[in-house]
Every structure is written in structure tokens, then in C-alpha cells.
Amino acid sequence: MKALEAEGKIPDAPVETAKTGRTAAGGKVRPKRLTKEEFASLGTPPTGFAWTLTGRPVVELTPKGALKCFECGDEMTLRTGRFGPFYSCNNRKCKAVANLRGEAKKTADEAAGETRSKPIETDMPCPDCGKKMLLRMGRTGRFLGCSGYPACKKTMEPPAGLLREVAETAGV
């Protein structure tokens, strides 16, 4: 887990599923779009899910009842991570997670209110004062700013891994 944190990956945010999240030795996970043939071979998505272009299950419509985990069949619960809502399996051993898109995402986002525009706390300490850095939304995009602001005005470019998490959770 230390290595992941060094990359700027946040452990409690949605992550690649075991099915598609294979990491090449030493490499970073970079989901690639499936070819038409690969996509066809996925078959029908599990009940309540659709496939993303990279072949991951994603929740597209707000489930009417319980959403069953695509991995183990246990119920999944809607949670709000640092970067927005996602479903995670109630089975602690399973750890499957699914992002939202389309209508399901819109509904969940509205329920979550304005949390999106709020700064997101990271685990990264400020190199100047040691306080935690916050991921903020600026005019030109996301940036890391010190939570000690205005006493500390340190800002930094967010690491690519962190931005990727944000982008994935923001729905593709």
C-alpha cells in the first residue's frame, strides 16, 4: 500500500477491479479501451451494470432495489468517496467497487449536494509546513493547496495518479 500512496493513489477511492485491473510488472494500471471483439466477448453485463469502454462494470441506472455485487452476489452499498459516489461490496473479503455514470451518477451527485466543489483532503503533507495538502478546483484546473492557507501559501501540481482517480470517478 505504501507504493500506491507514493504514486498518489488514494486507497479508499474506487480502484480497478481484480478482473481488469492487472498491473504489468512494475507498471501502473492503465485501463485501455477494448476492441470490438473483446467487448463482444464480455457478453451481457451483470444485472444492474453496464460495461465501460475499458470493460469494467459501471452503474448507469439508479438501482430500484438492492444492487448485487458482480463479483460475489452480495449487496453493494452506495458510498461517497473523496472524489464522489461509488458502489462498494458489503462483503469485506470481496472488495469489489463500481463507479457510476449517466443517470445513476447524476442522481447520486445531486444527493451528495455541493460536496464536489469542496476541497478534497489528501494524505500528502505540505513540504513547507507539514499540514495536509488539499486538492482544490481552480480556474485552470485542479491543484494542490496547503490546508494551512492563508498562513502557508504553498501550492503544487497534483500527481498524475491522483488526477486519474478524480477523472475516473467523475465518470467517463
Site string for Zn ion, 39-78 (x = CB under 5 A): ------------------------------x-xx-x----
4 binds Zn ion (CB under 5 A): no
Three-class secondary structure of residue 158 per DSSP:
coil
Three-class secondary structure of residue 32 per DSSP:
coil
d(CA 25, CA 118): 36
**CA distance from start to end of the chain:** 26
Query: Residue 56 carries which side chain, given as an amino acid letter?
Result: R
13 binds Zn ion (CB under 5 A): no
3-state SS, 74-119, equals: CEEEEEEECCEEEEEECCCCCCCEEEECHHHHHHHHHHHHHHHHCC
Site string for Zn ion, 72-111 (x = CB under 5 A): x-x--------------x-x--x-x---------------
CB closer to Zn ion, 96 vs 162: 96
Nearest distance in Å: CB 142, Zn ion: 18
Task: Quote the radius of gyration of the chain (alpha carbons, Å).
Answer: 17
Residue selected from 128, 160, 167, 172 as contacting Zn ion according to rule CB under 5 A: 128
Kindly indicate which of the ranges 4-12, 51-59, 101-109, 119-127 contains the residues binding Zn ion, using the contact rule CB under 5 A.
119-127
CA atoms in the 13 A half-sphere facing the CB of 73: 0
CB closer to Zn ion, 29 vs 152: 152
Closest alpha carbon to 83 in 50, 118, 125: 118
155 binds Zn ion (CB under 5 A): no
Nearest distance in Å: CB 113, Zn ion: 28
156 binds Zn ion (CB under 5 A): no
Positions that interact with Zn ion (CB under 5 A): 69, 71-72, 74, 89, 91, 94, 96, 126, 128-129, 131, 146, 148, 152, 154
